[in-house]
């Protein structure tokens, strides 16, 4: 075997033994989302610097707004951010976590659901969201300024109905 050239033999034995276990452990630590690693952000921060939080686990509190057709936003502190709020779906959105469908999530789901024969909910719902923020800046010349912002939620907490009707 020549020195300085990579081979399957050399590559296969390069890490070996306990080194492989250490490498797997380190990868697992960095890939698994943890609540302690989530950044607490405000709607204003996310609106101003979306690329800074792209691909990161975040915790954000805001009032949910539903606008037809298929537009959602969070607002608080005088800022409003239009974004898609999605739940993990392995067919379309791959994330290393599952949605926690607890009582708080069920409460949130029922409050944001539109009433029969309506397109959007009239409820004003404040909640804390924990999930991964995705940001895809638009690089198309024919649609300047349009980018995709998405929050893939893992958990919803502190859900409160704060009113009905359009946002104040």
- The predicted-structure confidence for 46-55, as pLDDT tens digits, reads as follows 999 999 999 9
8 and 50, same domain (yes or no): no
Q: How many CA atoms lie within 13 A of 121 on its CB side?
A: 20
- Is 10 a residue whose pLDDT tops 70? no
Q: Which domain holds residue 62?
A: 36-164
In the prediction, which pLDDT does 146 show?
66
115 and 61 share a domain? yes
* Confidence at 158, pLDDT banded by 50, 70, 90: very high
How many domains would you assign to the chain? 2
pLDDT in tens, 59-92: 999 999 887 666 788 999 899 998 888 888 877 7
Q: Residue 91 sits in a domain of what CATH number? A: 2.40.50
**pTM assigned to the model:** 0.72
Q: Residue 128: is its pLDDT beyond 80?
A: yes
Average pLDDT of span 31-44:
73
Question: In terms of domains, do 41 and 27 share one?
Answer: no
Residue 100: count other Cβ atoms within 10 Å of its Cβ.
13
């Amino acid at each position: 075997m020549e020195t300085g050239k990579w081979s399957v033999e050399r590559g296969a034995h390069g890490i070996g033994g306990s080194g492989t276990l250490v490498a797997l452990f380190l990868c697992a630590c960095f890939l698994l989302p943890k609540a302690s690693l989530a950044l607490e952000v405000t709607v204003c921060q996310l609106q101003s610097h979306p690329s800074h939080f792209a691909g990161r686990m975040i915790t954000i509190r805001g009032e949910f707004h539903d606008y037809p057709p298929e537009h959602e936003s969070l607002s608080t502190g005088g800022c409003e951010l239009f974004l898609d709020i999605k739940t993990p779906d392995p067919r379309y959105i791959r994330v290393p976590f599952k949605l926690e469908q607890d009582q708080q999530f069920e409460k949130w789901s029922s409050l944001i659901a539109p009433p029969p024969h309506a397109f959007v909910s009239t409820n004003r719902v404040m909640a804390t969201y924990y999930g991964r923020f995705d940001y895809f800046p638009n690089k198309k010349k024919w649609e300047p300024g349009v980018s995709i912002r998405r929050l893939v939620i893992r958990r919803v907490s502190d859900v409160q109905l704060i009113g009905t009707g359009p946002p104040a």
